[in-house]
Amino acid sequence: MDPADRQKNDQFLRLYVENEEALRGFVRSLVPTLDDARDVMQEVAVVLWKKFETLDSMDNFRRWAFGVARFEALAFRRDKARDRHVFSEDLMSLLEAEASAQGQQVQGEAQALEQCLTRLPQKQRALIKGAYESGTKIDEMARETGRTPMSLYKALHRIRLILADCIQNSLKQEEGLA
Amino acid sequence: MKSSDSHMGLIDRYLSGQATSEETAQLESRMMEDPQLRADFLAYARLDVALPEAMGGNPALAEVQATPLPQRSWKRWVPTAIAAVLMIGAIVTNAMWSKRGTDHPNESLTVAQFGELKDCRWVVSDARISSGDEIKIGQRIELSSGSAEVLFHTGARLTIVGPAIIEPRSENSGFLTLGEVYLVAETPESKGFTIETPVSKFIDIGTAFTATVSPDGLSRLEVSEGEVDVVLDGMEPKRLRRGETIYVEPGEQQILTRIESGDGTPDFRFPTIEPPSRDDYADQASGKATIRVARGELKTSPRQSGSGPASILLDGMGQPKQDAPRQSAFFQTGQKGSFIVDLGQSINLTKINSYSWHQHYLIEEHRERAQQRFTLYGYAGDELPDLSQPPNEAGWTRLARVNSDQFFRVNERLDRPAQQACSITAAQGSLGRYRYLLWKVNRNTFFGEFDVFGAP
């Protein structure tokens, strides 16, 4: 790899890493499932990489990347998720504007999540771990844990709410300390 | 979350894929009016998408005992076709895990230490890393530039060339997300050292190899000493020996590209790739396939230096000599072009080979037209897409990218083999079903033959 390519890789890597977490969350908000979000993010990353050279100013990377993410989510919806229930483009635009403006707010969420996970009771931790393991089917997991799928969905929702609140509280505390 | 329980419940149902169209409409209508609900929705979506990473990357949750962490199954990445570039996605969270990992030193095993560090710049700019620093399982090493040596306790010696991202997965393995690493494993304990990439697993059998993952997910393995097993989902390990190199494309088909240099005779003998065939599906003798130029023009010349017709590529033979323009197909000087093969119907493709040969009679290093540099696409429909559009926008599926100069690491003109063969196969056996194949050629290569194997 020549020095110019290395420099380009390096620059891309930094910008992508900086924005990737927020982008993934945004993409997740636009497509029906986690697997869909993974697929779309794969495309987003490839497009960003391929078109990185066309970016005029690195200062515009974030805005540009969110635009690409929205476009790819729309394309996904058009190609693969026609029969699923998805939002209008108006709402997608609003979400894009707000997600791309969140910036620093999102930084630190992953760290907070790790801490919050360690605070969960073992049983809840095991439940959420099982649910997010690759290939897990909620129906199968419900059978294995002796629950109905609906009660499992509800239990997972409660845990996610606990985690979401915990993350927000942790970030507030950090802000207070800062 | 500040939004009401009922709204959060709706959000959860939407993100779990359970919401009815009425519920989705209701959620949308609320969100259009309520900025707080939108903020909570985005935060909840970020949590949902962060949880798998957190579960996989957090040593505390991986129930780390005194034994090494169970390796994250590499197969898990394959069905979802996650390219390396997406793996960059794991960097943010895992970089954080890595940083915080130092707060919990007992949670993972130390398996290596840094050796020589040359001009290293790290992705985390304030990282303070010195030779001798310990490296734990799961600790991401994110190098922007320079090179860093990682010395495993088993004796395996890994040289990482930035930009690169790699993390040890056990006492004798690492996961390469991006970049290039060179491995030397000479001790008995380091035998079997494994480099996983998002699309493949390279297991050292002998002593040394280089593994590379480019930003768009293409993995490359080059064996410099000994032997290496390439393990892909659903196939028997493929053993590569000294001097052999293979590419693995990202994606579900796990397409493998192998390029070899020939013996430089009209027999077109290669180490593992068979000579040009008269028995392939597209051979002109069978009458099933046709070939034509889709873009560009073949070189014309009143003398014998012009190209032969495109049909020469399906005649079952390579060139009879090292500089045989009339028995080759090549484009006008300085022009790019493309060939289309119409197989007459969609068939299940199993292998596609291409052959080139060129070396000037008097000037040994004049072998420019031996280089194979093309992108191969497939199209399944009966109606050809608009050929004026870029293939990826017109609906073609990219099968493989070939750049033999890069493959052979050509720095000097004599580094370039004069006779080359490229073989494209898939780990699962099938490259997919296609009727049309498009070779988008970036050089004035003297191609002698295209062989297409498959069955309806």
Question: Strands B194-197 and B173-184, how do they pair?
Answer: parallel
Enter the tokens of residue B406.
Answer: 């890069």
Q: What is the DSSP string of B2-36?
A: -S-HHHHHHHHHHHTT---HHHHHHHHHHHHH-HH
3-state percent helix, strand, coil for chain A, nearest multiple of 5: 85, 0, 15
Residues contacting residue B361 through CB under 8 Å, at least 6 positions apart: B322, B323
pLDDT in tens, chain B (456 residues): 788 888 998 898 888 877 888 888 889 899 999 999 999 999 999 898 888 877 753 322 222 222 222 222 222 222 222 222 222 222 222 322 233 233 333 345 889 999 999 888 887 766 788 888 899 888 888 888 889 999 999 889 999 988 888 889 888 888 888 888 898 888 888 888 888 876 667 777 767 888 888 766 678 888 888 888 887 766 677 788 887 788 887 766 678 888 888 999 999 998 888 999 999 999 999 999 999 999 999 988 766 678 999 999 999 999 999 989 999 999 987 778 999 999 999 999 999 999 999 988 778 778 888 999 999 999 988 899 888 888 878 889 889 889 888 888 787 788 889 999 999 988 767 888 999 999 999 888 899 999 999 999
Contact indicator for A45, B85 with CB cutoff of 8 Å: yes
Cβ-proximal residues to B120 (8 Å cutoff; 6+ apart), any chain = B129, B143, B145, B146, B147, B148, B162
Is B395 in a helix, a strand, or coil? coil
Identify the DSSP state of B175. E
CA B405 to chain centre: 16
Cα–Cα nearest to B124, from B148, B167, B104, B94: B94
Residue with tokens 């076709």: B81
Tell me whether A174 touches chain B (CB under 8 Å). Answer: no
Residue of A161, A165, A169 to mutate for B, most B C-beta atoms under 10 A: A161
* Secondary structure letter of residue B329 according to DSSP: B
pLDDT in the model for residue B203: 75
Per-window interface: A 29-68 vs B, CB < 8 A:
29, 32-35, 37-39, 41-42, 45-46, 49-50
The alpha helices in A31-60, defined as continuous H runs, are: 34-51
pLDDT of residue B54: 77
d(CA B251, CA B35): 39
Type of residue found at A125: R
Mean pLDDT of chain A: 81
Q: How many CB pairs under 8 A join A and B?
A: 192
Residue in this structure with the two tokens 């020589």, named with its chain if needed: B116
Q: CA of B277, closest CA in chain A: separation in Å?
A: 35
B240 close to B398: Cβ distance less than 8 angstroms: no
**CA B203 centroid distance within chain:** 17
Residue reference for tokens 């005779």: B265
pLDDT for residue A164 is more than 50: yes
Write out chain A residues lying below 8 Å of B52, CB-based.
Answer: 34, 132-134
> Torsion angle, CA of A85/A88/A91/A93, rounded to 10 degrees?
120
Calpha distance B383→B394 (Å, rounded): 12
Q: Could you tell me what percentage of chain B is helix, strand and coil, using 3-state DSSP and rounding each to the nearest 5?
A: 20, 35, 40
Q: Mutating which of A49, A94, A125 best tests the B interface, going by the most B Cβ atoms within 10 A?
A: A49
pLDDT at B95: 29
Three-class SS state of B347: strand
Tokens of B127: 């990282």
SS3 B328: coil
A99-151 pLDDT, tens digit per residue, is: 888 766 677 788 888 889 888 888 888 888 888 876 667 888 888 888 888 88
Instruction: Take residue B178 and report the two structure tokens written for it.
Output: 């991006």
Q: Give, as one character, the DSSP assignment of residue B106.
A: G
Rounded Cα gap, residues A148 and A62, in angstroms: 42
pLDDT score recorded for residue B60: 25
0.95 surpassed by complex ipTM: no
d(CA B116, CA B146): 11
Question: Hey, which of A6-10, A94-98, B197-201 has the most confident mean pLDDT?
Answer: A94-98
pLDDT at A104: 61
Predicted confidence at residue A72, as pLDDT, reads: 86
Q: Which tokens sit at A161?
A: 């709410």
Residues contacting B246, CB < 8 A, separation 6+: B220, B221, B230, B238, B240, B256, B257, B258
Contact B17, A32 (CB under 8 A): yes
Strands (E), B288-396: 290-295, 337-357, 373-379
pLDDT on residue A83: 54
Whether residue B276 contacts residue B318, with contact meaning beta carbons closer than 8 Å, is answered with yes
Task: Identify the pLDDT of residue B63.
Answer: 23
Phi, psi dihedral angles at B47 (to 5 degrees):
-65, -45
Mutate to test the interface with B, among A88, A104, A129, A158 (most CBs of B within 10 A): A129
Higher pLDDT, A3 or A27: A27
